[in-house]
Structure 1
Amino acid sequence: MKALRKALDGLYLAAGALGAMFLLAILCLIVLQMLARWTGQTFPGATDYAGYCMAASSFLTLAYALRRGAHVRVSILLGALGPRRRWGELACTLIGAIVATFFARYAVKATIWSAKLGDVSQGQDATPLWIPQLAMSAGTILLALALWDRLIWIAAGGDPAADAPEGLEP
């Protein structure tokens, strides 16, 4: 079990690091676009690429943020449940896992269909849309996995009030 925990935490961390790299890519794109303007050049598609990087960064970091306890939660409501908090956490996590699983399924389907249909962006770059959609699909799959992971962890007796589940030090 420890090997699986370590592998999942490593996967979440790798996705989080990749998301951070996409944030750095946004910075680089903005700087390159500024340099292009100052030199009288054009950088076609820079805004589109920055948008793709923002989406990739957002989706790829979802599972890592969940594992670290960084998602916004209604802890006041859960705290009001008192000794029934575990049941509230289980119910909320189950609903989240189901919704994330459906979202992941349809994100993957959309990516596959974009590739089949040859969809391209409407900007100057004409990027095949399945390429930036891959990050969304991967991020939603990882979020669903992280939610099912958390659900099993809480059901097995883990402390639902803990910000970072056991074995993961901030």
Structure 2
Amino acid sequence: MRRVLDFLYDAAAWLAALAMIGVLLMVLLSIVSRQFGFHVPGTDAYAGYAMAAAGFLALAHTLKRNEHIRVTLILGRLQGRARHALEMWALSAGVLLAGLFAFYSVRLAWQSHAFHDISTSNDATPLWIPQIAMAVGTLILLVALLDEWVLELRGRRVTVDSEEALHNE
């Protein structure tokens, strides 16, 4: 099961990287088209869609690599049961919020498809297409948070306490 979950997180990260390349390509196409006097409609909208996809698809991978911003002022001073209880509380809140976010993201994409919503910009893209990335990203984040919750519950969760976070300029 661990391999499947790690593959899921890594696959989402690769898709996020491809979306970032999409942002680059759209920006470059916009620049080149202006320089050579032709217009490619929708480049700004597609760059935005790709940027949103990159952000949402990278959420789970970032969480699993302990790269999300955490406020550890209190947590860093706790040990044992108190630390475990605070971690469980924080992860439970995260699972709840990610579950709500995933539910409403999937619902938004579904409703956009059902109502035939299209972009108001000149590209007229059906909105459910870029919203799929948000829905998938939030679903994978929910899975990752549930994974962390179960690992913490079993006492198998590995957290890296960064000394770098304690040093400020």
- Asked if structure 1 preserves the Cα contact closer than 8 Å seen for 2:66 and 2:159, the reply is no
Given the alignment, which residue of 84, 98, 105 partners 1:86?
84
Which runs of 4 or more aligned residues in structure 1 lie more than 6 Å from their structure 2 counterparts after TM superposition?
none
Given the alignment, which residue of 15, 18, 22 partners 2:19?
22
Percent of residue pairs bearing the same amino acid type: 40
Question: Residue 48 of structure 1 aligns to which amino acid in structure 2?
Answer: A
Question: Residue 112 of structure 1 aligns to which amino acid in structure 2?
Answer: W
Structure-2 separation of matches of 1:161 and 1:137: 27
| CA shift in 2, pair 1:160/1:78, >3 Å | farther
Q: What displacement does 1:159 show?
A: 4.0
Matched, 1:95 2:93: yes
Question: Residue 147 of structure 1 aligns to which amino acid in structure 2?
Answer: L
The aligned counterpart of 2:147 is 149
Mark the runs of 5 or more structure 2 residues left unpaired by the alignment. 162-169
Question: Residue 35 of structure 1 aligns to which amino acid in structure 2?
Answer: V
**Which of 85-94 and 129-138 deviates more?**
85-94
Question: Residue 125 of structure 1 aligns to which amino acid in structure 2?
Answer: D
Structure-2 separation of matches of 1:27 and 1:43: 15
| CA shift in 2, pair 1:38/1:72, >3 Å | same
Mark the runs of 5 or more structure 1 residues left unpaired by the alignment. 164-170
Question: Residue 55 of structure 1 aligns to which amino acid in structure 2?
Answer: A
Alignment of structure 1 residues 117-156 onto 2, 5 Å: 117-156=115-154
The aligned counterpart of 1:40 is 37
The aligned counterpart of 2:61 is 64
The aligned counterpart of 1:31 is 28
- Asked if structure 2 preserves the Cα contact closer than 8 Å seen for 1:115 and 1:130, the reply is yes
Q: What displacement does 1:81 show?
A: 2.5
Q: State the TM-score, normalizing by the size of structure 1.
A: 0.91
Q: What displacement does 1:160 show?
A: 5.1
- Asked if structure 2 preserves the Cα contact closer than 8 Å seen for 1:100 and 1:143, the reply is yes
Corresponding residue SS for 2:74: helix
Corresponding residue SS for 1:32: helix
CA RMSD of aligned residues (A): 1.1
Q: How many aligned positions are there?
A: 160
The aligned counterpart of 1:51 is 48
Question: Residue 41 of structure 1 aligns to which amino acid in structure 2?
Answer: F
